[in-house]
Amino acid sequence: MLRVGQFCRYSRINTLITMTGVPALNQQRAGNTQHNSKSGMSGGARPHQQHRQQHAHHPPKPQQAHAPPPSTASTHLSSTTFASIPNLSNASQRALSEVMGFSYMTEVQDQTLPVVMNGQDVLAKAKTGTGKTVAFLLPSIEALAHDPPAAGSISVLVLSPTRELASQIAKEADSLLTFHPFKSQVVYGGTNINSERNRMDRGRVDVLVATPGRLIDHLENTNGLVRRFGNLRGLVLDEADQLLEMGFRPAIEKILKFLPATRQTLLFSATMPQSVQSVAGLALRKGYSFIDTVGDEQAQTNSQVTQSWVSVPLDQTFYAVRCILRAAAAVPGHKIICFFTTARLTQYMANLMQESGFPELLEIHSRKSQSAREKASAAFRNASEAIMFTSDVSARGVDYPDVTLVMQVGQPSSKEQYIHRLGRTARAGKTGQGVLILSPFEETFVARELARDVPISQASLPALTPDDLQAVAAGQGRVDLRVKEMAYQAWLGYYNSCKGVFKDKAVLVQTANAFAASMGCDETPALLKKTIGMMGLRGVPGLRIDESGGGGRGGGGRGGGRGGGGRGGGGRGAGGGPYQGQSFGNGGGSENGGGGRGMKRSRSGQGGGRGGGRGGGGGGGRGRSSY
């Protein structure tokens, strides 16, 4: 049993995490960047440079008809106005000023717009939250304004790695198109594909924003869509590094084959690994321009975020999360985002905290339906005070105003992912706070990935209260056992894939079993032999094997559930979950159970589990998130 104040024993600490506010830090402009051009383009290629206003200080923020995205903050503003762009259409000028409240360009826009509007292909290194969406949408829309497309053509295609980012880009496109005759649409997985077809058939689609998996569905199955891309003017790959990290290179290569070569292509990426440069060689025309608006690695960490990390024993993670939430939520105007390593762990922690005193807590991850994700995202964005638990679907691109704290629980997959998550706070020139909660076996992540050039310090937690202990203990008893079992499997799978954390698989399993016990599981959750095999854990001591075939449990979301077993069986049955791919199960079975198959197929991958028997039915296997 934990005691009040027990956390103090576990900290080799130099500072105390305080949730009463963050001291004002020196604000650092997003300047000091470089413009490197592979095309050897001369300095005179900036068509509106002569119009730049030379000010020693930033101009005042313009009057806003609607609250603009955080990228308009003075921290990222240049002294160049949109009005200085030669031949900017009146419709775009009105949208920028009247609808979006923009008068001055951000540094990213100032550096990229002249080159993009000159018609060149561009590979741009740019952080999220710095105005890059307008940087690629505005030139695309202006090209249509000055040379209207043929009826029925799709002129601009934007590829996004996630549904949330795709939706946000589409909304910004709608704002820019307010006074133009052109229209934008968005397509992504998790929604009815026939409804999307009907929308595209009935209305104009000048700008199409899409996730790769859903776009391929349409290219292969929506009549006439390939023809509509015949006169494509521009292709944008936004968050290119994330697209590749999520395994979309084959999809991107496939999409490129459907598109005409005579197009302008723009790649925007927060980081510039070799994989992005390789895809740039495929997608961009020779002689493309490279524009670096970020600079060195140090510049990628936001100087306005106070960063701390704490180490607590694994079985005390739940108490640590509640302790920090309690302290942070006591501050007026708090907006808190908590990141977890997997969707199932996000689900478990959200359930636990909702049962432990935070019933209004919001939840976003890939196991939630798209409508639920959109509702939670809108609620968090519009709230003056809120707490949201999320997986990495919210790590990039999506703008949430006024986030005061980013909490990351468990070792991130990489330094880059840590930085991207942290970027949800301290946007729009404001300050913010970041806290990373690690277990002792994860502490090497700080030394290996962060210590060299990320300004992060070790800290202690506020003291536990009796209410923390009682609330978490009571909450654990109210969380559904199946949610705990799925969290256990997700935890085991994640840390099994983390290089260098558990070199001994027996220690990995032992630690996972201790995690299950800390969740309140009476016994270690059993895993299917197939699951154990796919993890490469056959023969590792400590694992419980599910010999029964599952008993017909239903699983939600991608991946489905376990196969059933038992007497009888037969027939076909539809399956589902929140993701509307194709789900079907063949019954079957015998007196001894078994038989039959269950499959869940979608663009994200496919899998299956054996099923059959009375009330059984097959379950889905593993599926990769691809929308």
Tens digit of each residue's pLDDT (9 = 90 or more) over 535-545 = 999 999 999 99
Number of H helices, E strands in the chain: 19, 23
| Residues whose CB is less than 8 angstroms from the CB of residue 525 and which lie 6 or more positions away in sequence, other chains included | 484, 485, 488, 489, 516, 544
Q: DSSP letter for 8, please.
A: G
Token code pair at residue 351: 């359930």
Average pLDDT of span 272-279: 90
pLDDT of 7 higher than 80: no
Report pLDDT for 72: 36
* CA angle, 185 then 580 then 607, to 5°: 125
Q: Of 201, 242, 244, 205, nearest to 224 (Cα)? A: 201
pLDDT classification of 296: cutoffs 50, 70, 90: low
Answer yes or no: do 277 and 354 share one domain.
no
Token code pair at residue 480: 């559904």
Report pLDDT for 129: 74
User: Which strands form 597-602's sheet, in the order they lie side by side?
Assistant: 572-574, 582-586, 597-602, 605-610
The span from the CA of 187 to the CA of 215, in Å, is: 7
pLDDT > 90 in the chain, percent:
57
Q: Taking phi first (over 0 means left), then psi (-120 to 50 degrees means alpha), and beta for anything else, what does residue 87 get? A: left
Q: How far apart are the first and last CA of the chain?
A: 43
The span from the CA of 216 to the CA of 170, in Å, is: 19
Place of tokens 């869509």: 225
Residue, of 284 and 299, whose pLDDT is higher: 284
Answer yes or no: do 258 and 181 share one domain.
yes
Element (H, E) at 284: none
Answer yes or no: do 278 and 345 share one domain.
no
Contact 563, 611 (CB under 8 A): yes
**Residues in the chain, how many?**
627
Report pLDDT for 214: 96
Which residues face 338 on adjacent strands?
389, 407
Answer yes or no: do 449 and 343 share one domain.
yes
Average pLDDT of span 441-469: 89
- Does some domain include residue 43? no
Token code pair at residue 258: 């459907």
pLDDT in tens, 79-122: 999 999 999 999 999 999 999 999 999 999 999 999 999 999 99
CA distances from 85 to 91, 177, 216, 318 (A): 13, 18, 36, 53
pLDDT classification of 253: cutoffs 50, 70, 90: very high
Q: DSSP letter for 457, please.
A: E
The span from the CA of 342 to the CA of 366, in Å, is: 9
Answer yes or no: do 289 and 324 share one domain.
no
Average pLDDT of span 563-592: 36
The span from the CA of 54 to the CA of 56, in Å, is: 7
Average pLDDT of span 289-308: 74
User: What rounded mean pLDDT belongs to the chain?
Assistant: 78
* Angle between the N-to-C axes of helices 505-518 and 481-497, in degrees from 0 to 180, rounded to the nearest 10: 150
Average pLDDT of span 363-381: 88
pLDDT > 70 in the chain, percent:
73
pLDDT in tens, 476-503: 999 999 999 999 999 999 999 998 899 9
pLDDT in tens, 232-250: 999 999 999 889 888 899 9
- Does some domain include residue 31? no
Report pLDDT for 420: 81
Structural domain boundaries enclosing 554: 548-627
- Does some domain include residue 508? no
Token code pair at residue 189: 């997985």
pLDDT of 191 higher than 50: yes
Other Cβ atoms closer than 10 A to 483: 17
Report pLDDT for 429: 63
pLDDT classification of 335: cutoffs 50, 70, 90: very high
Answer yes or no: do 473 and 552 share one domain.
no
Which residues face 194 on adjacent strands?
none
Answer yes or no: do 274 and 340 share one domain.
no
pLDDT of 304 higher than 90: no
The span from the CA of 495 to the CA of 490, in Å, is: 9
- Does some domain include residue 540? no
- Does some domain include residue 151? yes
| Residues whose CB is less than 8 angstroms from the CB of residue 118 and which lie 6 or more positions away in sequence, other chains included | 45, 47
Answer yes or no: do 366 and 463 share one domain.
yes
pLDDT classification of 190: cutoffs 50, 70, 90: confident
Answer yes or no: do 187 and 232 share one domain.
yes
Q: Specify the 3-state DSSP secondary structure of 580.
A: coil
- Does some domain include residue 615? yes
Report pLDDT for 302: 61
pLDDT of 570 higher than 70: no
- Does some domain include residue 461? yes
Answer yes or no: do 145 and 265 share one domain.
yes
Which residues face 37 on adjacent strands?
289
The CATH number of whichever domain residue 347 belongs to comes to 3.40.50.300
Token code pair at residue 46: 């900036």
pLDDT classification of 73: cutoffs 50, 70, 90: very low
pLDDT of 378 higher than 50: yes
Burial pattern 422-447, b for ≥16 Cβ within 10 A else e, equals bbbbbbbbbbbbbbbbbbebbeebbe
Report pLDDT for 245: 80
Which of 240, 265, 295 is a domain's end point? 295
Q: Cα torsion at 198, 204, 209, 214 (round to 10°)?
A: 20
Considering 392-401, 436-445, 447-456, 551-560, the range whose residues carry the highest mean pLDDT is 436-445
Which residues face 583 on adjacent strands?
600
Which of 237, 271, 295 is a domain's end point? 295
Answer yes or no: do 280 and 405 share one domain.
no
Burial pattern 112-131, b for ≥16 Cβ within 10 A else e, equals bbbbbbeebbbbbbbbbbbb
Number of domains in the chain: 3
The span from the CA of 289 to the CA of 123, in Å, is: 6
Residue, of 448 and 299, whose pLDDT is higher: 448
Answer yes or no: do 334 and 469 share one domain.
yes
* CA angle, 86 then 87 then 91, to 5°: 125
Which of 478, 503, 518 is a domain's end point? 478
Q: Specify the 3-state DSSP secondary structure of 339.
A: strand
The span from the CA of 579 to the CA of 24, in Å, is: 44
The span from the CA of 459 to the CA of 482, in Å, is: 35
- Does some domain include residue 95? no
| Residues whose CB is less than 8 angstroms from the CB of residue 547 and which lie 6 or more positions away in sequence, other chains included | none
The span from the CA of 72 to the CA of 103, in Å, is: 9
The span from the CA of 553 to the CA of 531, in Å, is: 15
Place of tokens 């990320």: 454
User: Positive or negative, the Cα torsion across 375, 378, 381, 385?
Assistant: negative
| Range of lowest pLDDT (260-264, 343-347, 388-392, 398-402) | 398-402
Amino acid (1-letter code) at residue 84: S
pLDDT classification of 613: cutoffs 50, 70, 90: very low
In this prediction the pTM is: 0.57
